[in-house]
Structure 1
Amino acid sequence: MKKSNFKQLVSLSLSASLFVGVFGTVVMAQTDSSKESTETETVIKDEEHFSPLAEYLNTAMDLFTEEFPDAELIEIDIELEKEGHYDIQLTGQDSQHEYELDYDTEKEKVIERETDRENDNERALPLDDLLSIDEINEIALTEAGFGEITEWTLDWDNDEDDDEGQALVCWDIKIEDKDSNREVALEIAALTGDILSIEHDD
């Protein structure tokens, strides 16, 4: 697995004005998109302006690559632990083993690592082709129209097929609004940003 593949996932960013507090605090919904197109095009060209969450994910991926240089990522799980901090778990595999690395952004270190001698032979994530996590967040929050993102999972969904009948790699996103006790779960195609499903729990 090449480190450059990991960079693709987090190298693009959306304008900071799309999010209030961005990921340094919580990921909040933004409904005013009148300037979205122009601002997004401008910032996407500058790869140094991406969110704190994207930076954390980039760091976790670098650490995973250092520890397991021959492994390819098969799943990414992120949880918002508290304001501005996340638990990032990366799962990967090589030809023989499966690996997990758990990165705590508050402690800024790996808090757990595991090696499983058995390999489920799952498909590697196509990191070079994915939309950035910032783009996925903007899509999710625009669709929900409220709340903060508290959970992210990226993996292959064998229940969802593309136009050619192939399995899709998808983000499962959970958004919560603690004040109104509303929740919404979305499934988003990671390559195109299409909303595959949305479930409200009011």
Structure 2
Amino acid sequence: MPETSRELAPPEGTPTGPRRQARGTARRDAIVRAAADLILREGPAAVTHRAVAARAQVPLAATTYYFTGLDDLIGAAGRMIVDGWAEHARDAAARAIRRASSGRRAATTGAEALVDSVLLPGGEAEVRGFYEHLVGAGRYPALAHAYAEGRHQLDTAVAHVLTVLGVERVSPGLLVAVVDGAAVSALSEGRDVRGLAVRLVADLLGDDGQSS
């Protein structure tokens, strides 16, 4: 039996079956989450077996037990990252629905709500790091493939926000492209990212950005 299997096998007397499977799933998820955190904070180059094991607080052998190699692990982390982006957009849709059902005037405009669904929260440092990460992701085929495969999740979630706000003539891809372009322009020119994105999305909507 390979050494990694002996190290990860449960001690004698430990219950097997569903409990062992659940424990294995939790450990695998922790490893993927650790890799995703490293990718977002330090870039894909920071994903090593040792760094991931240390962040996930698992034995070093666990990173090779659950994944065939670093590309496999980076791909899984990329899928988890995309899931987080889509969840962020779904949360934005839920907030828009709550505002609409309250009967009160929305505190944010339609343009602001749409930007919120695409632009991740955080200050300039976090936003800059996020877009630097996106630009560099293409150099890692496993990560780029995961992002390309998961893009439909983000588009579906953003489409829901557009529907909630009654915006019919703007596609999810166009909205994401406008917000991303605004962010890159603002970061490169020392301007406020969110402010520029809201203004450009308001122009895209063809009005002052008020939700319908």
TM-score, reference length from structure 1: 0.24
TM-score, reference length from structure 2: 0.24
Higher RCO, Cα 8 Å, sep 6+? 2
User: Which protein has the bigger strand share?
Assistant: 1
User: Which protein has the bigger helix share?
Assistant: 2
